Amino acid sequence: MNALILAAGLGTRLGELTFDRPKALVEVAGRTMLEHQLRHLSAAGFDHFVINIHHFAVAVREFLKAHENFGLDIRLSDETDLLLDTGGGIRKAMRLFDVEQPVLVHNVDIFSCTDLRGLYEDHIESGADATLLTAVRNTSRYLYFDADGMLRGWSNEKTGQIRSPYPGFNKTQFRPRAFQGIHVLSRTLLPLLDEVPGQKFSITDFYVDNAARLKLRSVVSDANNWVDAGKPETLVEAARVVESWIELKKDIMQTFNAKQVKDQVVQWIRDWFEENGKGCNAVIGISGGKDSSVVAALCVEALGKDRVIGVTMPNGVQKDISDSMLLINHLGIRYCNVNIGDTYNALMNAVKEQLGTLGKEVSNQTIINMPPRLRMTTLYAISQSMNGRVANTCNLSEDWVGYSTRYGDAAGDFSPLGGLTVAEVIAIGKELGLPKELVEKTPSDGLCGKSDEDNLGFKYAVLDRYIRTGQCDDPKIKALIDDKHVKNLFKLKPIPHFEYI
């Protein structure tokens, strides 16, 4: 889902707070406004971001670089040379999105408890050209909507100015609403945006001028759960909204709808195979753990058991191979067993021999990571011979701290669990009716004899809460998670390449 954060404004209402920084980097509750918005939008499911910049643009660039873009897909729409106002800024920024989907536009200094994902999905279902979040509250400038929620006009209460493309417009016949600084725009608006002369213009003016040509609808929100943090006196109120986000997310698993998300993932798998491998089989390495079990079950529900192939790959003797067979028999899928033990030993001996000629020994990390890479080689060998697509079985929690082997278990063609935490994966596993001993099995890499949590130095429950809420009660563990996250972000990115112009 696409999100545009408007952060180019001068922030003059914040006074001396923006003398040496952009308003996007003014702090609320210990974090910058920009970080709050990125985390909040990301938690709501938005994954493609554009941020427009102007005032102290370099500072925003450096802030994002220092935080590795928070692991997100972020592009910048640079208005350094000319501040384009809201309309001009949106017109320029919309072209930076690769994904042809609507764009949620969110002012960086607006803090609300609005269900942003729900607003986005509601807009798509409505077929509107734009959906504007509005409220019943006092303001100096009102938008006016009819009984069906369609925009009809605008007024400035201070100056008495009234605008509408409808002849004889009488504002008393319509419903006054205050614009909340959050709206969703369809790509159908771009041709009309391009008709506006000049580079600078207001998006509100554009909406009003084109109200008769476009379907511009209102969704009314609760004004009490909304704060414009563009003034010093409202920063405390914004902090209270942030606290409400945290409290809401503390109980995230109480509101997590495992069946709904399971159904969404199943449909996503179907859609992915329809586009990227119509009629192909899903090939999955079956370790006997929860992640491969859940992925296999999801693929069975999405594609049917005849199109799912499990592969067990013990390295010599695997003590819990019975767990892998339990899943295979439970799902009734085809499988093959490839023991990588001889290959591992032969390759390791050859590597040791050659490193010895260089005066080096095989590192512990090499010993740990070689089996996952051999297993991925095995999966692709079987996949290419079975008209298959290889499933990645990593979850969001593992990916967040880099607990995977690059080009090993971190590889694959599609990733059903890449956006789900450990707790969420377990909930979906239970919803799928998988055996309890598989879903609740203590996670372990099966290589070093320790559990995942022993290796990481913290519990998955702590990590999951931090991912979803940004909260961690132990400063040392928070620092450890942040350090692992930043150091391992490269694993989630495409290989950097030289740009030849």
- What CATH number is associated with residue 86? 3.90.550.10
- What is the side-by-side order of every strand in the sheet holding 281-285? 334-337, 308-312, 281-285, 388-390
With left for phi above 0 and alpha for psi between -120 and 50, is residue 68 left, alpha or beta?
left
State yes or no: pLDDT of 249 exceeds 90.
Answer: no
**H-helix or E-strand containing 326?**
helix 321-331
* Residue 245 in domain: yes
Q: What share of the chain is helix, strand, coil (3-state, %, to 5)?
A: 50, 20, 35
Q: What is the pLDDT of residue 493?
A: 82
Cα(482)–Cα(68) distance, integer angstroms = 11
Who contacts 60 (Cβ-Cβ below 8 Å, separation ≥6)?
A: 7, 22, 24, 25, 34, 51, 53, 76
Q: Within 358-459, where are the H helices?
A: 364-385, 396-400, 422-431, 436-439, 452-456
Stretch 303-321: mean pLDDT, rounded? Answer: 93
Q: Phi and psi (nearest 5°) for 183?
A: -155, 160
Residues 89 and 229 grouped into a single domain: yes
Q: What is the mean pLDDT of the chain?
A: 92
Q: pLDDT tens digit string along 366-381?
A: 999 999 999 999 999 9
Q: What mean pLDDT do residues 158-181 have? A: 95
- Domain at 314, CATH number: 3.40.50.620
Residue 251 pLDDT greater than 60, yes or no: no
Higher-scoring residue by pLDDT: 46, 444: 46
Give the pLDDT score at 270. 97
Residue 157 shares a structural domain with residue 263: no
Q: What is the pLDDT of residue 250?
A: 55
Q: Domain tally for the chain?
A: 2
Cα separation of 408 and 380, whole Å?
Answer: 11
Q: Would you state the torsion angle of the CA atoms of residues 367, 371, 377, 380, taken in this order, to the nearest 10 degrees?
A: -150
For residue 210, the one-letter residue type is N
CB 204 within 8 A of CB 251: no
Decide which of 250, 276, 304 is a domain's last residue. 250
- Angstrom distance (rounded) from CA 294 to CA 327: 10
Residue 397, CA atoms < 13 Å, CB-side half-sphere: 22
DSSP β-ladder status, 31-32 and 27-28: antiparallel
Beta strands at 130-135 and 175-185: parallel, antiparallel or unpaired: antiparallel
Alpha carbons within 13 angstroms on the beta-carbon side of residue 64 total 21
Asked whether residue 122 falls in the same domain as residue 185, the answer is yes
Give, as one character, the DSSP assignment of residue 420.
Answer: -
- Tokens (6 digits) for 145: 């909507």
Residue 462 has a pLDDT of: 86
Q: Kindly state the helix (H) or strand (E) to which residue 481 belongs, with its residue range.
A: helix 475-488
Q: CB neighbours (10 Å) of residue 54?
A: 20
Which residues is 142 bridged to in the sheet?
155
Look at residue 497 and tell me if it is in a domain.
Answer: no
Number of residues in the chain: 501
Q: What percent of the chain has pLDDT over 70?
A: 97
- Sequence-ordered alpha helix ranges (H) in 44-132: 57-66, 85-94, 116-126
Could you tell me if 218 and 301 lie in one domain? no
Residue 387: inside a domain: yes
Say what the pLDDT of residue 447 is: 57
Closest CA to 226 of 143, 123, 135, 105: 135
- Asked whether the predicted pLDDT for residue 252 surpasses 80, the reply is no
Q: Per the structure block, which two tokens stand in for 450?
A: 């320790």
Same domain, 365 and 463: yes
- Write down the number of H helices and E strands in the chain: 19, 18
What separation in angstroms does the CA of 136 have from each of 175, 178, 192, 332? 9, 6, 29, 57
Residue with tokens 């996007």: 24
Residue with tokens 């372990």: 444
Give pLDDT, residue 235. 93
Q: What is the pLDDT of residue 436?
A: 87
63: pLDDT strictly greater than 80: yes
Residue 149, pLDDT above cutoff 60: yes
Q: Which residue, among 37, 56, 57, has the nearest Cα to 104 in the 3D structure?
A: 37
- Phi first, then psi, for residue 391 (nearest 5°) are -85, 135
What is the residue range of 466's domain? 258-492
In a domain, 499, yes or no: no
**Are 285 and 417 in a shared domain?**
yes
Q: Are 218 and 225 in contact (CB under 8 A)?
A: no
As a whole number, mean pLDDT of residues 143-168 equals 96
- Residue with the two structure tokens 């956006």: 419
501 inside domain: no
User: Whole-prediction pTM value?
Assistant: 0.57
Q: How confident is the model at residue 490 (pLDDT cuts 50, 70, 90)?
A: confident
Same domain, 454 and 326: yes
Element (H, E) at 244: helix 235-250
Nearest-CA neighbor of 68 among 489, 406, 398, 495? Answer: 489
Q: Which of 194, 220, 250 is the last residue of a domain?
A: 250
**149 and 264 assigned to the same domain:** no
Kindly give the pairing relationship between strand 162-163 and strand 151-156. Answer: antiparallel
Domain boundary among 198, 225, 250: 250
Contact predicate 454/461, CB 8 Å? no
Q: Are residues 411 and 486 in the same domain?
A: yes
Say yes or no: 232 and 367 in one domain.
no
Domain assignment present for 118: yes
262 shares a domain with 205: no
First to last CA, the chain: 30
Looking at the structure, do residues 353 and 374 belong to the same domain, yes or no? yes
Please report whether residue 158 resides in a domain: yes
The SS3 assignment for 139 reads: coil
Task: Look at residue 71 and tell me if it is in a domain.
Answer: yes
- pLDDT more than 90, % of the chain: 77
For tokens 């429950």, what's the residue?
Answer: 461
